[in-house]
């Protein structure tokens, strides 16, 4: 129990879908004197993290690192490639798609959003239809959220790419991978993404404060023509100096030490293994939710996110009251419902520095909280997750 006067015993469970738990190794790596970001030591660090980010994005194109939250990298993607009044097509997958839409509108872009019910990923066939109808090629970019963190629904980016190609449309493809990069498979080059947007505080296991743009040849060509005002976010100022590992203005040196360590950890585990771990823990979480008899927000079973699970409350019960009980009794933070899902949904983050036992602790906290808050449910969610993990482990042992 949290006490106002003492320190709660044991670790806080930060099970929101970002910021995520920062591994001790990363914390220790940031316990480092700040160095001269123009001095001889810095260039090696800068080059290592810039190259490391290309590896995580699965791209050969440059990656730009900003000292900002993910929202800054959203803005950077748009201002570097577009001009005032350009038409942009977005897909309303949930709260984050709606926020990116609002940001784009405020920049003076002419944004059309394909409406959605916040329970599915973006529909590639509707994107294709809309692009096919745009015979004059007014639309300059298609922007989609890969992992919609407000709903736990994934969009199939390879299919969005195919939809754009099939319509023969030259629009750029921009993807918000803020809560997928480093947790779920994201293939920047293979999927033909022109600008990939990411942040430090989700799959990359870092504190908030860094954001990223992964580019493409076409994005760089668009940047030559783009006329939206840009200065702080300008790729043109970043790229030449990044080539030597340096930055045009003061980078977040301490966070870059952390990023270097987090990249080492991801490399040691291997990206395939990282994705498989998220898949396994997500499957176990969904088994628990189903055993409780609660409803998962994402209605498309194939699109359910491996990074988080958003759960609908039974009618008449407040998700915020449940989250309050869980925080006060068990010192665990769960994600709140965002936007139109406020109060109706709680979100279990199962991404980043997370394993079988941290999942079991998390699900135990939810199950005890459901009982304590008087939320109607069946018992046995934790057991269902344990059984799920046990079956997978037995299957893996047999296969070996």
| Footprint of ligand PLP (CB under 6 A) | 18, 69-71, 96, 145, 149, 176, 178-179, 199, 208
Closer residue to ligand PLP, CB minimum distance, 208 or 343? 208
Closer residue to ligand PLP, CB minimum distance, 155 or 362? 155
Tell me the closest approach of the beta carbon of residue 386 to ligand PLP, in angstroms: 29
Contact indicator for 362, 15 with CB cutoff of 8 Å: yes
Sign of the four-CA dihedral 45, 47, 52, 54: positive
Tell me the closest approach of the beta carbon of residue 146 to ligand PLP, in angstroms: 7
Closer residue to ligand PLP, CB minimum distance, 303 or 385? 303
Q: Which residue is nearest to ligand PLP (CB)?
A: 70
Tell me the closest approach of the beta carbon of residue 144 to ligand PLP, in angstroms: 10
Tell me the closest approach of the beta carbon of residue 198 to ligand PLP, in angstroms: 9
Tell me the closest approach of the beta carbon of residue 72 to ligand PLP, in angstroms: 7
Closer residue to ligand PLP, CB minimum distance, 90 or 385? 90
Closer residue to ligand PLP, CB minimum distance, 349 or 381? 349
Closer residue to ligand PLP, CB minimum distance, 292 or 354? 354
Closer residue to ligand PLP, CB minimum distance, 183 or 312? 183
Tell me the closest approach of the beta carbon of residue 127 to ligand PLP, in angstroms: 18
Burial class (CB in 10 A: 0-12, 13-18, 19+), 10: exposed
Kindly report the three-state secondary structure assignment for every residue of the chain: CCCCCCCCCCCCEEECCCCCCCCHHHHHHHCCCCCCCCCCCHHHHHHHHHHHHHHHHCCCCCEEEECCCHHHHHHHHHHCCCCCCCEEEEECCCHHHHHHHHHHHHCCCEEEEECCCCCCCCCHHHHHHHHHHCCCCCEEEEEEECEECCCCEECCHHHHHHHHHHCCCCCEEEEECCCCCCCCCCCCCCCCCCEEEEECCCCCCCCCCCEEEECCHHHHHHHHHCCCCCCCCCHHHHHHHHCCCCCCCCCCHHHHHHHHHHHHHHHHHCHHHHHHHHHHHHHHHHHHHHHHCCEECCCCHHHECCCEEEEECCCCCCHHHHHHHHHHHHCEEEEECCHHHCCCEEEEECCCCCCHHHHHHHHHHHHHHHHHCCCCCCCCHHHHHHHHHHHHHHHHHHHC
Tell me the closest approach of the beta carbon of residue 221 to ligand PLP, in angstroms: 26
Tell me the closest approach of the beta carbon of residue 308 to ligand PLP, in angstroms: 9
Closer residue to ligand PLP, CB minimum distance, 70 or 337? 70
Closer residue to ligand PLP, CB minimum distance, 42 or 191? 191
Tell me the closest approach of the beta carbon of residue 50 to ligand PLP, in angstroms: 20
């Amino acid at each position: 129990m949290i006490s106002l006067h003492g320190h709660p015993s044991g670790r806080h469970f930060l099970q929101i879908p970002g910021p995520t738990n920062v591994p001790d190794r990363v914390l220790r790596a940031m316990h480092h004197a700040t160095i001269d970001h123009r001095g001889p030591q810095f260039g090696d660090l800068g080059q290592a993290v810039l190259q490391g980010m290309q590896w995580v994005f699965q791209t050969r194109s440059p990656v730009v690192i900003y000292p900002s939250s993910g929202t800054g990298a959203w803005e950077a993607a748009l201002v570097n490639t577009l001009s005032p009044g350009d038409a942009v097509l977005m897909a309303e997958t949930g709260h984050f798609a709606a926020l990116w839409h609002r940001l784009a509108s405020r920049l003076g872009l002419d944004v059309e959003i394909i409406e959605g019910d916040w329970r599915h990923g973006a529909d590639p066939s509707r994107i294709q239809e809309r692009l096919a109808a745009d015979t004059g090629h007014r639309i300059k970019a298609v922007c989609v959220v890969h992992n919609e963190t407000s709903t736990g629904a994934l969009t199939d980016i390879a299919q969005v790419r195919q939809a754009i190609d099939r319509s023969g449309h030259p629009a750029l493809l921009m993807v918000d991978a803020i809560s997928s990069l480093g947790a779920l498979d994201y293939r920047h080059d293979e999927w033909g993404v022109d600008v990939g947007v990411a942040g430090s505080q989700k799959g990359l296991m870092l504190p908030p404060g860094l954001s990223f743009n992964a580019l493409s040849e076409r994005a760089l060509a668009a940047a030559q023509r783009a006329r939206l005002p840009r200065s702080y976010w300008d790729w043109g100022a970043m790229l030449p100096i990044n080539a030597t590992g340096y930055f045009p203005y003061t980078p977040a040196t301490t966070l870059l030490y952390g990023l270097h360590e987090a990249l080492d950890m991801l490399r040691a585990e291997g990206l395939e293994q990282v994705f498989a771990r998220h898949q396994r823990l997500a499957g176990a979480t969904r088994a628990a939710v189903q055993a409780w008899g609660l409803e998962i927000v994402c209605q498309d079973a194939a699109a359910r996110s491996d990074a988080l699970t958003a759960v609908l409350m039974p009618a008449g019960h407040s998700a915020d009251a449940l989250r309050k009980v869980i925080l006060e009794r068990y010192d665990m933070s769960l994600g709140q419902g965002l936007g139109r899902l406020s109060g109706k949904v709680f979100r279990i983050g199962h991404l980043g520095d997370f394993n079988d036992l941290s999942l079991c602790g998390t699900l135990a906290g939810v199950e005890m909280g459901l009982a304590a808050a008087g939320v109607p449910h069946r018992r046995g969610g934790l057991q269902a997750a344990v059984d799920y993990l046990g079956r997978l482990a037995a299957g893996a042992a047999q296969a070996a």
